[in-house]
Amino acid sequence: MTATLAQIREGLAANLSAIPNVQVSAYMLSSPTPPTLWVFPEETDFDLTMQRGLDCYHLTIQAYIGAVADEGSQVLLDTLLDPASATSVKAAVEADRTLGGAVESLRVTKQTGYRLYQVPNMGHATSMAQILGCEWTVEVYT
């Protein structure tokens, strides 16, 4: 299968769109509105079988959930992290492992747990705020 990187990103975003009440994008956004999930590429392993037979794309799904001190942000992130929950990122991504037939297979291989991200504090040009989030690694075989 010869899926483009754009098709892979858009397919992952389509799978993630099954999670309600979360902004989803196949691309990084300049001004995300938490809670947000977006997709970006990392490294690629080429030629895993001879003659361009199989490549493996490693992509990251990053979540920006909300203010660190907000208990609701932590509750939401817990449900996204829990592979058995109805809003599991892992379950949503793996619901269609071929992205509509565009790729051979995919799997979520790991998640980082809680992360704190520094973002510009809206309304304060010189200050930064912390946003709670997480990252998942997805291997996509084409």
pLDDT of the residue at 30: 87
Q: What is the pLDDT along the chain (142 residues), one digit of tens a residue?
A: 679 999 999 999 999 999 999 999 999 998 888 999 999 999 999 988 877 789 999 999 999 999 887 899 999 999 999 999 999 999 999 999 999 999 999 999 999 999 999 877 665 566 778 899 999 999 999 9
The pLDDT of residue 128 is: 78
Domain that holds residue 131: 5-141
Q: Domain holding 85: CATH number?
A: 3.30.70.1700
Residue 123: predicted pLDDT: 59
Number of domains in the chain: 1
* Amino acid letter, 92: A
Per the structure block, which two tokens stand in for 44? 């690629």
- CB-based burial, 74-100: b 16+ in 10 Å, e otherwise: eebbeebbeeeeebbbbbbbbebeebe
The reported pLDDT for the residue numbered 31 is 84
